[in-house]
Amino acid sequence: MTSSVAGVRALWLPVLVVVFASACSSSDAGGTLDSTTVAQTGERFDAADLVTAVGGLGVGAVDLGESAPGDPFGVAAQLVCVNGHVVRFHEYESVAEREAVSGTISPDGWSAVDGPYEWVAAPSFWVRDNAMVFTLGADQATRDALTAVLGPRVAGSDTPAPRDERAAERLSCEI
């Protein structure tokens, strides 16, 4: 009887691994921006939560104490420095309000709200609960840290925009 139980366990282990891997897999960019494809906790998520969570990964993160205009995303962004890259944190009043904006972003991130944009570097977007996080030109380590905290990138491009050195200075920060 013991050997048949071991045989059943041996058969179920690969099935469980495949089911678990399928449930956890997702693409790193593109796809629809709805609550079924992103981490949702039902709680409010703010810039301080982002700094704490990224810092908990051992990655440098600090709230820069500044805000930037919300265009084209409707609400002003808090600027956060993550791993030496400026990250724009847009906090909406509700998930529905955030979805109304984030749902307009094209899978590659080059178009949003009311048309195409000429970002100065490759865009990346994440959403979590009431928040949308946006960065331009972040390196892979920064994108990995944000993905670990926020879930898969919901839109973005790895295709670089033409390099503008003055813009590059505005996209970097010191921790």
pLDDT exceeds 80 at position 28: no
What is the 3-state composition of the chain as percent helix, strand, coil, each rounded to the nearest 5?
A: 35, 25, 45
Q: pLDDT tier at 34 (50, 70, 90 boundaries)? A: very low
Residue 24 and residue 170: Cα distance in Å, rounded? 35
Beta-strand ranges (E) seen in 40-121 are: 61-68, 77-82, 85-91, 111-112, 115-116
Chain centroid to Cα 47, Å, comes to 13
Query: Token pair of 38, please?
Result: 């992103």
> Buried b vs exposed e over 45-66: b needs ≥16 C-beta within 10 Å?
bbbebbbebbbeeebbbeebee
pLDDT tens digit sequence for 74-130: 999 999 999 999 999 999 999 999 999 999 999 999 998 888 888 888 899 999 999
- Cα 103–105–111 angle (5° rounding)? 150
Cβ count near 110 (within 10 Å): 18
pLDDT at residue 42 in the model? 63
Whole-model pTM: value is 0.73
